[in-house]
Structures are given as C-alpha cells and as structure tokens.
C-alpha cells in the first residue's frame, strides 16, 4: 500500500524542489514559478518558506512512497482577510491521478486549521482545471462562484473558480 506524507521543507532540499518544479504540468499554474526552476530559485523560495512556516503558513513537501513528488502550501492572508488562508499545490506529472493530491490536501488542511489562526481556506482554480476541482470537492471544499475572465495564461482567458473550506 502506498504511503503519502507531508514533510516541512528546509533549504537542504533545494535539489528536490527544483526537480519537482521541472516536472510539473504548468497549464493552470501561476507564471511566477520560474521555468526552468533552478536550485537557486528553490533556495530563494525555501528561505521564505522557512521564515514563515508555522507563523503565517505551512509549507510542505509531498512525499509518496519515500519519493518527493510535490509541494503544498497554505498561506494566511493579511488585513481584513487575516482569518483566511490560500492553498496551492502541485504534483509531478507522472504521479498525477493516484489520489496523492487529494490526500495531501486533506493532511495540509488538517494541519493548517490546527496551527494557524484561521476560519477558512480558499482555493482559486482555473475553470478548466477539472482535476484540481475534484481534489478540492473530495476534501469538503465548497464551490462559491466564479470570477469571469479573471486569468490570462498561454494566450487564453479563463474564469477563476472560488472554493472555500471552513473550520
């Protein structure tokens, strides 16, 4: 039986994060994730993650059968949104459709509600990203609506679906 666990990132794992990020489907991800993703890029992000982990977010490696296969983070928002956090995740292409993201989201949400002073977790998903919408729905996220023509990626304009999970 497969084993999925989440592990806090640290800067000694730059090579692992770089390897993951160079093997993900970027179709529905932010363009802010560099491509190619260098060890220097990983070091920069992991430095930020280490400073904020546990205080205003959780930043975890997704490990499947002992292999580093993905990344998941839940980061608190600020100002009047301070009781909300946003979740983001990705898995190496070859590990998709195995239930890994579903279990990683379950584990990360549980930890975030335990450790962060939040009452909800928000996910903003490209309307065409059916796989991610299913992952969220399996984890009790509620579809709250769409922002029309909200995202421009690869010469295509997408609606952005809003999902929420509540404490």
CATH of the domain at 129: 3.40.630.30
Which residue(s) pair with 71 in the sheet? Answer: 61, 90
pLDDT in tens, 25-52: 999 999 999 999 999 999 999 999 999 9
Q: What residues have CB less than 8 Å from 63, skipping those under 6 apart?
A: 4, 5, 6, 7, 69
- Residue 73, CA distances (Å) to 24, 62, 154, 155, 157 in order: 16, 10, 24, 27, 25
Quick one: tokens of 86?
Answer: 């946003």
| pLDDT at 2 (0 to 100) | 66
The boundaries of the domain holding residue 100 are 4-166
Overall number of domains in the chain: 1
> Can you read off the two tokens belonging to residue 106?
């379950």
Distance of alpha carbon 24 from its chain centroid, rounded? 12
Q: Which positions of the chain have pLDDT values less than 70? A: 1-2
Determine the pLDDT at residue 49. 96
pLDDT at 1 (0 to 100): 46
């Amino acid at each position: 039986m497969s084993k999925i666990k989440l592990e806090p990132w640290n800067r000694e794992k730059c090579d692992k994060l770089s390897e993951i990020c160079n093997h993900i489907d970027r179709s529905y991800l932010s363009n802010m994730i560099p491509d190619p993703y260098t060890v220097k890029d990983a070091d920069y992000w992991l430095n930020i993650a280490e400073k904020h982990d546990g205080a205003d977010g959780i930043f975890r490696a997704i490990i499947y059968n002992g292999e580093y296969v993905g990344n998941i983070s839940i980061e608190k928002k600020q100002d009047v949104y301070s009781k909300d956090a946003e979740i983001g995740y990705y898995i190496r292409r070859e590990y998709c459709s195995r239930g890994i993201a579903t279990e990683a989201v379950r584990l990360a949400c549980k930890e975030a509600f335990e450790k962060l002073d939040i009452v909800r977790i928000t996910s903003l998903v490209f309307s065409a990203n059916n796989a991610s919408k299913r992952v969220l729905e399996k984890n009790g996220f509620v579809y709250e609506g769409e922002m029309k023509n909200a995202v421009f990626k690869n010469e295509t304009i997408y609606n952005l679906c809003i999902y929420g999970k509540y404490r």
